[in-house]
Amino acid sequence: MSRRYDCSEPMERTRGIADAVSAVRRGELVVLPTDTVYGVGADAFTPAAVQALLDAKGRGRDMPPPVLVGSVRAATALVEDLGTYGQDLIDEFWPGALTLVCRANPNLMWDLGETKGTVAVRMPMHELAVEVLKETGPLAVSSANLSGEPAARNADEAEKMLGDSISVYLDGGRSGHADPSTIIDLTGSVPRLLRLGAIPEDKIRAVVGVLLTDEDEPAAPPEPAELTASASGAGETKPSLTKHTAAEAAHAPAEPASAPAEPASAPAEPADAPSGSADAPSVPGGSADAPQAPPESADAPSVPPEAANAPDVPPEAADAPGTPQEEAGLVAGAAETTDPDKSKPEQAAPNVPEEAADAPKAAEAGPAAPAKPNDDQ
């Protein structure tokens, strides 16, 4: 059996707030007025209560409710990061009809539904609602109506639709205005307008400067595509340069290869130095056949020291063979860095953006898109 309190009467107001706070702590549902429309609230940290809220509205977990708070401090405890513009928006529009979607604090033990790691928070500009919220703590609050029906503007409309599924109705008269709150996504690097409501777009832009909207979606994808195509084209030219360099390197050893052949004839000159060496073989490299020469020429191969050192090749020849090896090493390194098969994954890595992400990259990459609170709060 639900209970209803006329909060225009001081005594009824006090009793109603106390009863509503007790009901929330027991995991029950309450209806209260806000500066936008009437809302149905449940303890945000009691999963069974949040599920009861969704059941009362006929809504699934894919439409998680936003969270109302009684202070800015309570809101910052619920989120991981307000981003670059969150605090400025809070300073300008809170309390008020602005809902901010942020990355939820991962340390909190709660279950609001399929939020994709985000939370939509708002501090309403309504004295009765804030007084309740300061006593109960953060409440999961959705518009007080059945899913698909117009949001309730007074307690009578809310009670007609929700009936006994609500424990306490706080009647604070007609709600502030018919427009729901404006919803801004701060999970990416650039704020994004998720729903236009009571606060106009130009006032949001005056604070954040740049604000993405649904109209920006078709124009955004071409930029990364062009960059990727450009990077891909640049990657295709590099292998041709590598192949050309490799071809040159392949022919490079041919020049120094002939250098060692010149010293091969060196033994021919000292072969005439010893007496009686006329009969000694004059063929280059004859030192290898020296044991078959006449006894008097047997010492010929040992006479010229330059001949003994001939196989070592002059310094320039010795350095020449090293050049193609160095070139081959450089080419190999270039081939590794410019291999199209290896470079493509690196080109695909850049992301967009959670506001990047939190987004629009922009936000961004990034993370899955935040669940948009399909709600009139």
pLDDT, one tens digit per residue, over 96-130 is 999 999 999 999 999 999 999 999 999 999 999 99
Q: Which pair of structure tokens corresponds to residue 362?
A: 């922009």
Place of tokens 């990727």: 228
- Are the C-beta atoms of 185 and 194 separated by less than 8 Å? yes
Q: Which pair of structure tokens corresponds to residue 40?
A: 């149905």
Give the C-alpha separation, 189 to 173, whole Å: 40
pLDDT, one tens digit per residue, over 352-362 is 344 333 333 33
Map residue 106 onto helix, strand or coil: coil
- Are the C-beta atoms of 140 and 40 separated by less than 8 Å? no
Would you give the distance in Å from CA 299 to the centre of its chain?
Answer: 81
DSSP strands (E only) in 37-185: 39-43, 67-68, 79-81, 98-104, 118-122, 139-143, 168-171, 182-185
What per-residue confidence (pLDDT) applies to 20?
98
Give the C-alpha separation, 295 to 68, whole Å: 114
**What number of other Cβ atoms are within 10 A of residue 2's Cβ?**
17
Q: Which helix (H) or strand (E) holds 148?
A: none
Q: Of 314, 273, 317, which Cα lies nearest the Cα of 297?
A: 273
- Weakest mean pLDDT among 28-37, 38-47, 94-103, 260-269: 260-269
Would you give the distance in Å from CA 298 to the centre of its chain?
Answer: 83
Phi, psi angles (nearest 5°) of residue 138: -55, 135
**What number of other Cβ atoms are within 10 A of residue 351's Cβ?**
16
- pTM for the complete prediction? 0.61
Map residue 102 onto helix, strand or coil: strand
What per-residue confidence (pLDDT) applies to 217?
62
- Are the C-beta atoms of 38 and 152 separated by less than 8 Å? yes
What per-residue confidence (pLDDT) applies to 223?
47
Query: Is the pLDDT reported for residue 84 higher than 90?
Result: yes
Give the C-alpha separation, 326 to 329, whole Å: 5
Query: Is the pLDDT reported for residue 290 higher than 70?
Result: no
What per-residue confidence (pLDDT) applies to 216?
79
Among residues of the chain, what percentage have pLDDT more than 70?
A: 57
Give the C-alpha separation, 356 to 365, whole Å: 6
